Structure 1
Amino acid sequence: MQRGCQGCRSQDHDFDIAMAFQPIVDIQTGRTFAFEALVRGSNGEGADEVLSRVTPENRYAFDQRCRVAAIEGAVAAGILATDARLSINFLPNAVYSPAACIQLTLKTARATSFPIERLIFEFTENEEMTDTDHVKNIVESYRKMGFATAIDDFGAGHAGLGLLAKFQTDYIKLDMELVRGIETSLPRRMIVEGVIRIADSLGITIIAEGIETKAEHDALRAIGVRYIQGYLFARPGFKCLPEILLPDERYAAVA
């Protein structure tokens, strides 16, 4: 715990990063519900190149730097002129104390006038949960502070439904492998429908990510998914908020 508190007081971050932003679209309204901040190198290098430099020793500094870069970058790109939320990826294993480790995030939000109630913090199942009770504490603490939380890549990581049984986030982001080609795959459709029923019963909102085709979009819409993210609408915009192109508009433009 002391290590985390020392880290929160430190402003010495070694990561030279920037952010790209990809919209999450409300397909009922055709508007951007949120922008997910995706880490990039300062010159646009891919996430894999940046993440390859993260170690257990610098993981805390990286997590803190990403939060600051996401908020500052989104504000600089014009998010305050919209009503969209900002979704920030975080590393649960880099949070030693939720209350202490959030202080730099709060300071950055105040300095940029970004409303904290528009923040969503998402963590991926692909990061092994060494202490699920600790992650549960983070989720519950963030909810009390007014933040929303999400499980990213749901269905592709270490915990799956077992993690959901332990605690519930506000959102579940379905991994792209669950929805890829869902319009022609009965098993995928049945699995997604099952997750939707469970989520609805628990008061959790589903977001489908990695959507690339109109057929996937139409199949997900037909089974009740409202929020969708993927190349079908927009690719991530480096240091900018990309405009979305709805499927009907896209195909009308091609015609």
Structure 2
Amino acid sequence: MSSSNTSDNPAPDAYPYHGAAEHGACPSCASGERLGFGFSYAFQPIIDLHDRQIFAHEALVRGVGGEPAPTVLSQVTEQNRFRFDQAGRVKAIKTASRLGMQSKLSINFMPNAIYRPELCIRSTLEAARAHDFPIEQIIFETVEGERINDGKWLTEVFREYQRIGFLTAIDDFGAGFAGLNLLADFQPDIIKLDMDLIRGIDQSRTRQAIVRATVGMCEELGIKVIGEGVETADECSALFDLGIHLMQGYLFSRPLFEACGQAEQLAWPQ
């Protein structure tokens, strides 16, 4: 995030980032500005088909009444992107703790909103401590579909998160901005296969070959693989045969608004 102001003659306090970094505080964190709109979360289970347990829940933004994500994301601008990213992390942790979530919690973050990861992560750490949610149970994954402006910068952010103790995940692996070049620079704990690779994989030898090779590569690098967007029993079976046992999709559960899934309540394939 840039610390420059685009107006010709800014007022002294118009941009509260001025000099804050010199005092050890992230300028955006110290701004105290509010978003001006509310939001909440739905949680979609990521299942472990081998153990028939819930591995994690992904926090998916929703309106305060459960409205779909675009009603919230349409209000995110370049000016409030950082504040939304920070507020989202805190709210996801707070809500997961209130619900008594026992699984890992996967939080999407906006890599283009990060200012200084070693400072801006403080609000997340404070929220985890305040709500007694272990940081080793928190996964940070890149926001689905967000163009990554600087892959080297994302690598730096991810490394800092790993150093602190968070888990990291590359979302939409196989799509344009989440491919082999990124993986060559940084090895996350988890990759989530792009759902376009998953769709109809049971009927596509090409997709099967690509996923098989990806699974083998990740095994060698010590990276877990999640198949997301699983909608049919045949897709699930094909992924399991290819060595993937962590999956997410409507086949098992839709996102649950302000609720956690329970293993015994999910739609497990026979």
TM-score, normalising length: structure 2: 0.87
Q: C-alpha deviations, 1:65-109, integer Å up to 9, x for none?
A: 110111111112221xx2x10000000111111111111111111
Q: 1:215 aligns with which of 227, 234, 245?
A: 234
Shift of 1:159: 4.3
3-state SS, counterpart of residue 142 of structure 2: strand
3-state SS, counterpart of residue 88 of structure 1: strand
Runs of 5+ unmatched residues, structure 1: 249-255
Does the 8 Å contact 1:13/1:65 carry over to 2?
no
Matched, 1:121 2:132: no
Q: C-alpha deviations, 1:117-161, integer Å up to 9, x for none?
A: 100000046322222221111111111100010011111232421
Amino acid at match of 2:46: I
Question: Match of 2:27?
Answer: 6
The separation in 2 between residues aligned to 1:117 and 1:136, in whole angstroms, is: 19
TM-score, normalising length: structure 1: 0.92
Question: Match of 1:165?
Answer: 184
Does the 8 Å contact 2:233/2:251 carry over to 1?
yes
Question: Match of 1:253?
Answer: none
Question: Match of 1:193?
Answer: 212
Q: 2:43 aligns with which of 21, 26, 31?
A: 21
Matched, 1:176 2:183: no
Amino acid at match of 2:228: E
Matched, 1:60 2:60: no
Q: Stretches of 4+ moved more than 6 A in 1? A: none
The separation in 2 between residues aligned to 1:70 and 1:106, in whole angstroms, is: 13
3-state SS, counterpart of residue 29 of structure 2: helix
Matches within 5 A, 1:19-168: 19-79=41-101, 82=102, 84-124=103-143, 126-168=145-187
Tell me the number of residue pairs that the alignment of Structure 1 and Structure 2 aligns.
245
The separation in 1 between residues aligned to 2:178 and 2:51, in whole angstroms, is: 33
Runs of 5+ unmatched residues, structure 2: 4-16
More helix by share: 1
Question: Match of 1:247?
Answer: 269
3-state SS, counterpart of residue 33 of structure 1: strand
Q: C-alpha deviations, 1:164-215, integer Å up to 9, x for none?
A: 1221211000011101111111111111111112211211110000101111
- In our comparison, the structure showing a higher alpha carbon Rg is 2
The separation in 1 between residues aligned to 2:137 and 2:178, in whole angstroms, is: 27
The separation in 1 between residues aligned to 2:131 and 2:87, in whole angstroms, is: 15
